[in-house]
């Protein structure tokens, strides 16, 4: 039974990873897409820079059962794809948290020109 559960979890993780690439390929941007999926589909960005958000406070429980508290400005990585006319904003967990694009879904789904 334990092996079956491990296989199911592995299958779900692989399926989700493939879905990120599929959505990007179709030009559908959504929260939490993996940063690595953009590398695989669109290649390296033209520019990368770091920006910070507004000051926040956050408290919660970590996975190991301990608590945490954070006060300050979060930093975000911004990837600029000039050919796609799109800026992507990733959190420290390397997940998409925001984007700005002047492109349509059709334009986002078209192949990225080679550099």
In sequence order, the β-bridge partners of residue 56 are 72
Q: Which of 76, 81, 74 is nearest to 100 (CA)?
A: 81
The pLDDT, as a whole number, for residue 46 is 98
pLDDT of res. 56: 77
For residues 70-79, give the mean pLDDT. 90
Are 21 and 37 within 8 A, CB to CB? yes
pLDDT tens, 23-68?
Answer: 999 999 999 999 999 999 999 999 999 998 888 788 888 778 888 7
Number of Cβ atoms within 10 Å of the Cβ of 86: 20
- Structure confidence at residue 8 as a pLDDT band (50, 70, 90): very low
The answer to whether residue 6 scores a pLDDT higher than 50 is no
pTM score > 0.85 for this model? no
- Here the tokens at position 107 are 């334009």
């Amino acid at each position: 039974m334990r092996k079956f559960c491990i296989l199911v979890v592995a299958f779900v993780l692989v399926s989700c990873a493939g879905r990120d690439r599929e959505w990007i390929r179709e030009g559908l941007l959504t929260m939490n897409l993996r940063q690595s999926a953009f590398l695989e589909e669109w290649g390296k960005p033209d520019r990368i820079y770091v920006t910070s958000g507004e000051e926040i406070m956050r408290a919660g429980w970590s996975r190991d059962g301990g608590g945490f508290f954070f006060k300050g400005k979060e930093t975000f990585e911004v990837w600029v794809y000039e050919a796609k006319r799109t800026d992507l904003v990733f959190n420290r967990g390397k997940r998409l948290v925001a984007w700005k694009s002047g492109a349509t879904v059709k334009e986002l789904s078209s192949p990225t020109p080679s550099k």
